[in-house]
Amino acid sequence: MTSILTNTGAMVALQTLRMVNNDLTNVQGMISTGKKVATSVDNAAIWAVTSIMQADVDGFSAISESLALGKASVSVARNASEKITELLRDMKEKIVAAQEDNVDRTKIQTDIDELRNQITTIVSAAQFNGLNLIDGTITTTNVNTNTGVDILSSLDRASDGTVTTNSIGVDAENLSLSAGLSLAAAAASVGTDPGVAGTLEANDGGTNDSIELDTFAFLDTAGGATGTSAVTAKTAGVDDTLATGILAGDQLSLSIGAIEGTYVVKEGDNEASIVAGVKNALIAAGLNTDDFTLDVTTVAGELLITNQTNQDATFAFEATRGTGGLADLLTLDVSSAANAAQALTDIETLIQTAIDASASFGSSEQRVDIQSEFVQSLIDSMTSGIGALVDADMEKASARLQALQVQQQLGTQALSIANSTPQTILSLFQ
């Protein structure tokens, strides 16, 4: 039956044409955007997953920039430390030359002073974007619980969607030449000083011809001075502004007559190891152990020094905390044979300090490099994963477009034919 009111053929053709046009619109959208899932309408589940992944990619891109900035800061500090090491080696050559008697020590001292001034310049200039890791201005605690800074290194997303960050801790190294803090007698001192102050009297079998280095206190991790051994200033909880306790790196100097022995406290040192270190320093500096006996009591942690000569001898003890690792450069002196010998000992310690700083920064920079490479690789992998989920197959889309265009033409023709069917009814009434 043919009806002029209900054209079933036209309805079918129109419905088909609508479906073809809708598919054609989708394919054209894929071609124009390059994505098969461009909005949540296309596929809500895939869109939600890839949106989270894209947010992480954006976050890792920011982390990559943070790592680049951090690497630049560490690289500046490392290069400065290495240059300082070179200058200290040059300084050592001058000091070695000053060990000879037939040299002009005044000119050598001038060269040493100029090298010291250059080191001071390097320390103050070794900054990147205002951050200087070697001049002692860093006071914050990093993730290593040491004095230093943190470099943002990664984002960690848990299965429940919680996001946390991780950082690489870079320890600051103080290579400044600041003179430092004089420690109180409670931290380290000559416990017994009988007779005339500062004098080891001639040996008479009494008590005034001996002194005892036996008073020590150590800073602790609670901000006080009740520790039993030396910790570093970088240890969390330590208040390195306290002058009533000893830290690793503090310098103890004991002079007997013209001989001065200097010992730098090491991490983990206790009373016994400190007095042994001071004794060895005095012997190394040339103290005659026949004239002055050095008796170490390991249990009590004391050094008993007795004048065995028939002449009085002066003595002096000093404990200092150099806030700068190169603070001894300020007193480096080769004006005499004795001073030149002491300078040779001091320069070795200073070179080692600079080497340790360079090595520390080198290790940190290497870790930043490794993390930077990993982050870039992770960004590439995540981007590829997102692409696999949302990117359109352009070859398939092209073939699909051609097919839909043909279907659209056929659908249009079919609709035209269906719409012309009622026209045949007119012939029945002619």
**Residue 338: inside a domain, yes or no?**
no
Residue 34: per-residue pLDDT? 67
For residues 195 and 119, membership in a common domain is answered with no
**Residue 348: inside a domain, yes or no?**
no
Residue 339: per-residue pLDDT? 87
Higher per-residue confidence, 186 vs 35:
186
For residues 25 and 100, membership in a common domain is answered with no
Residue 6: per-residue pLDDT? 65
Amino acid at site 221? T
**Residue 194: inside a domain, yes or no?**
yes
pLDDT greater than 90 at residue 413: no
**Residue 157: inside a domain, yes or no?**
yes
Residue 366: per-residue pLDDT? 94
For residue 74, the cross-strand partners are: none
Rounded to whole angstroms, how far apart are CA atoms 421 and 427? 11
Which two tokens mark 43? Answer: 């596929």
pLDDT digits (tens, 9 = 90+) for 360-385: 999 999 999 999 999 998 888 888 88
Phi, psi of 302 (to 5 degrees): -135, 150
Side-chain-side CA neighbours of residue 305 (13 Å) = 35
The least confident of 10-24, 106-120, 199-213 is 10-24
Residue 37: per-residue pLDDT? 75
Predicted confidence band at 195 (pLDDT cuts at 50, 70, 90)? Answer: confident
**Domain limit, last residue, from 368, 384, 400:** 384
Specify whether the CB–CB gap between 261 and 253 falls below 8 A. Answer: yes
For residues 291 and 366, membership in a common domain is answered with no
With the CA atoms of 112, 113, 118 and 123 taken in that order, what torsion angle do they form, in degrees rounded to the nearest 10? 100
For residues 67 and 127, membership in a common domain is answered with yes
Mean pLDDT score, 56-80: 90
Residue 3: per-residue pLDDT? 65
Predicted confidence band at 206 (pLDDT cuts at 50, 70, 90)? Answer: low
**Residue 333: inside a domain, yes or no?**
no
pLDDT greater than 90 at residue 88: yes
Mean pLDDT score, 272-286: 91
Rounded to whole angstroms, how far apart are CA atoms 61 and 55? 10
Which two tokens mark 182? Answer: 């004089």
**Residue 95: inside a domain, yes or no?**
yes
Higher per-residue confidence, 93 vs 204:
93
Mean pLDDT score, 299-308: 86
Total tally of structural domains belonging to the chain: 3
Q: Is 6 helix (H, G, I), strand (E, B) or coil?
A: coil
Predicted confidence band at 225 (pLDDT cuts at 50, 70, 90)? Answer: very high
Residue 317: per-residue pLDDT? 92
For residues 370 and 313, membership in a common domain is answered with no
Mean pLDDT score, 42-46: 79
**Domain limit, last residue, from 267, 301, 321:** 321
pLDDT greater than 80 at residue 193: no
Q: Which of 284, 287, 219, 216 is nearest to 252 (CA)?
A: 216
Mean pLDDT score, 381-402: 76
Rounded to whole angstroms, how far apart are CA atoms 389 and 49? 9
Residue 359: per-residue pLDDT? 94
Side-chain-side CA neighbours of residue 14 (13 Å) = 7
Specify whether the CB–CB gap between 236 and 148 falls below 8 A. Answer: no
| Number of C-beta neighbours around residue 191 at 10 A | 14
pLDDT greater than 90 at residue 227: yes
Rounded to whole angstroms, how far apart are CA atoms 207 and 408? 117
For residues 242 and 367, membership in a common domain is answered with no
pLDDT digits (tens, 9 = 90+) for 309-362: 999 999 999 998 876 888 888 888 888 888 888 889 889 989 999 999 999 999
Highest mean pLDDT among 55-64, 260-269, 274-283: 274-283
Q: Which of 256, 251, 261 is nearest to 341 (CA)?
A: 261
Mean pLDDT score, 192-218: 83
Predicted confidence band at 262 (pLDDT cuts at 50, 70, 90)? Answer: confident
Q: Which residue has the tokens 């982050």?
A: 375
pLDDT greater than 80 at residue 30: no
Higher per-residue confidence, 298 vs 118:
118
Rounded to whole angstroms, how far apart are CA atoms 171 and 313? 45
**Residue 342: inside a domain, yes or no?**
no
pLDDT greater than 90 at residue 91: yes
Q: Name the residue range of residue 282's domain.
A: 181-321
For residues 145 and 119, membership in a common domain is answered with yes
The DSSP-derived string for 27-50 is HHHHHHHSBS--STTT-HHHHHHH
For residues 158 and 214, membership in a common domain is answered with no
Specify whether the CB–CB gap between 172 and 148 falls below 8 A. Answer: yes
Residue 271: per-residue pLDDT? 93
pLDDT greater than 70 at residue 1: no
The least confident of 18-27, 221-230, 370-379 is 18-27
- CATH code for position 61: 1.20.1330.10
Side-chain-side CA neighbours of residue 70 (13 Å) = 29
For residues 115 and 226, membership in a common domain is answered with no
Mean pLDDT score, 292-317: 88
Specify whether the CB–CB gap between 187 and 323 falls below 8 A. Answer: no
For residues 400 and 305, membership in a common domain is answered with no
Q: Say how far residue 230 (Cα) sits from the centre of its chain.
A: 23
Percent of the chain whose predicted confidence (pLDDT) is above 90:
35
For residues 116 and 207, membership in a common domain is answered with no
Which two tokens mark 26? Answer: 């989708």
Mean pLDDT score, 53-66: 86
**Residue 63: inside a domain, yes or no?**
yes
For residues 164 and 205, membership in a common domain is answered with no
